[in-house]
Amino acid sequence: MSLILGIDTATDVRAGLARDGRVVASGAVEDRRAHAEQLLPLVQRVAAEAGVSLSELTGVVVGVGPGPFTGLRVGVAAAEVLAEALGVPVRGVCSLDAIAQAWADEGTAPTDFVVVADARRKEVYWARYRADGARIDGPFVTSPDAVPDVALAGPGASLTGREGVGPAVLDAGLMAAASDRLGEVGLEPLYLRRPDAEVPTTRKSTITTARIGMMGPR
């Protein structure tokens, strides 16, 4: 018997529970800026809705992106610490894979499709899948123009100028139910981008006027 908690913060705030591979609760807070505030209260709500105590969990699965970094880290930190405190294993999976698997599990996925998410700065995250939900390429971060011209799913589909036909959002209950079938990618968020930072190279002049030398050595 298994009771898996699924958490994803790659886009908005999502949590769900699955018992023995069947969804028992799933919830979302559709806010892309309140991961730190809303995630743990949501976890409590889905547990209450399912009528379970978190101490009954047998595992945690977390979407590690790709997605905006700050939100991703909230989900991964929470998942890791929940698992640590409860003494259960935690698995990191690609958030795009979870959407692809949900479509595959519906039985309606086409033979070749792409799941797209918003990467901001006029770019998208995407990965390419087969009908059974297996990832065959990606994930990448590119301009929307570079997304292959196949069927689309995911929260960023419309950014390509085309319409998505598969699931538009990740359902954390379904992700928990499919946990065993999703490939483990580790617990480091899928950043895909390097941190922005400038290395100061030259010393900036601090002399702005000719009035210098007012404080020579005594």
Q: Which residues bind other proteins (CB under 8 A)?
A: 34-41, 43-44, 54, 69-70, 73-82, 84-86, 188-189, 191, 195-200, 203, 205-207, 212-213, 215-218
CB of 102 to other proteins, least distance (A): 25
Residue 150's closest CA among 139, 133, 166, 134? 166
Three-state secondary structure call for residue 117:
strand
Whose structure tokens read 């909230």? 74
% helix, strand, coil for the chain, step of 5: 30, 25, 45
Q: Which is nearer to other proteins, 22 or 193 (CB)?
A: 193
> Which candidate, 67, 53, 71, 41, places its Cα nearest to that of 17?
53
Q: What are φ and ψ of residue 177, in 5° steps?
A: -65, -35
**Toward other proteins, which CB reaches closer, 1 or 199?**
199
Identify whether the C-beta of residue 64 lies closer than 8 Å to the C-beta of residue 185: yes
Nearer to other proteins, 7 or 114 (CB): 7
Burial-class residue 110 by CB neighbours within 10 Å (0-12, 13-18, 19+): middle
Q: What is the smallest separation between the CB atom of 128 and other proteins, expressed in angstroms?
A: 27
Residue 187 and residue 92 in contact, taking contact as beta carbons nearer than 8 Å? yes
CB of 71 to other proteins, least distance (A): 9
Of 86 and 168, the one with the shorter C-beta distance to other proteins is 86
- Please report how close the Cβ of residue 92 comes to other proteins at its closest, in angstroms: 12
In the chain, DSSP finds a helix count (H) and a strand count (E) of 4, 9
- Give the CA diameter of the chain: 85
Tell me the closest approach of the beta carbon of residue 196 to other proteins, in angstroms.
Answer: 6
Q: Give the HSE-up count for residue 48: Cα atoms under 13 Å, Cβ half-sphere.
A: 6
CB of 193 to other proteins, least distance (A): 9
Nearer to other proteins, 7 or 182 (CB): 7
- Of 40 and 168, CB closest to other proteins: 40
